[in-house]
Amino acid sequence: MMSKKSDAGDKQLYHERQVKELCALHALNNLMQKKDAFTKKDLDDICLRLSPDTFINPHRSMLGLGNYDVNVIMAALQEKGYETIWFDKRKKVNVLIPDKIMGFILNTPTDYKLGFVKLPIHRKHWIAIRWLNGKYMNLDSKLDAPCAIGDEASLLEYLGSELSNGDKELLLVVEKEVYDNSLWRRDSEGGEKKDAHTSNSSGSSPSNSSCAGSPGSNILKDKSLANGTVAITDFRAQDHVSS
């Protein structure tokens, strides 16, 4: 299995921006770095397969705006040959071996706005993170452009800071071999772990990462973009409810 860090040369970054409640779709396409790796119809079809006999599908918005749940994300990634693991927040993030992990999907609380008016609606937002062009990149669809997190140490610091908020969760995306052999983590002493996978639950360390916080924070965009380009697909329209 080739290390992802052995990839050479800058590649064009693909970044979908937010529309409606389609952050799960954007996170998947941003993670796969491919337009239409998945479509809204693909995710709607997965919803129907997961719950074929329900009048109101529990895996998406009843209004058809998106708001897909984690079951849809997991099923979609399985179609591409990837497995997913909820990271156990009781453990420190330094048990992770990022080089063995294809990508990360953060699940964070979000507020909804209609124009400048905050709505009394609270949902969760999906954010893709992966190694691209020599650094870990935050591909949040709410950002105007990808945000550089940095090297492995910066990634772990950033994830630790994010997960210190009890409302946030982390989904790991790995190849099947990595999943089957638990190659994505090490034990508490730094050695690789070879047994059971983890599940859900709080922990971690503060971060100075410039990607921490909301899109309104002081965000450092990828300064390496002078050496490459970003393909930004902006699905937003002014009359949509942003998420």
Active-site residue identified among 15, 26, 140, 211: 140
For the question of residue 140 being annotated catalytic, the response is: yes
Q: Where are the alpha helices (DSSP H) in the chain?
A: 23-32, 40-50, 70-79, 152-163, 176-180
Distance CA 99, CA 184 (A): 8
Q: Which residues contact 142 (CB under 8 A, 6 or more apart)?
A: 17, 18, 23, 125, 214, 215, 242
Residue type, 57: N
Q: Which residues of 8-44 are buried (b: 16+ CB within 10 A; e: fewer)?
A: eeeeebbbbbbbbbbbbbbbbbbbbbeeebbebebbb
Active-site residue identified among 15, 47, 125, 211: 125
Task: Identify the DSSP state of 1.
Answer: -
For the question of residue 23 being annotated catalytic, the response is: yes
For the question of residue 125 being annotated catalytic, the response is: yes
Q: Which residues of 103-142 are buried (b: 16+ CB within 10 A; e: fewer)?
A: bbbbbbebebeeeeeeeeeeebbbbbbbbbbbbbbbbbbb
Cβ(1)–Cβ(175) under 8 Å?
A: yes
Active site residues: 23, 125, 140
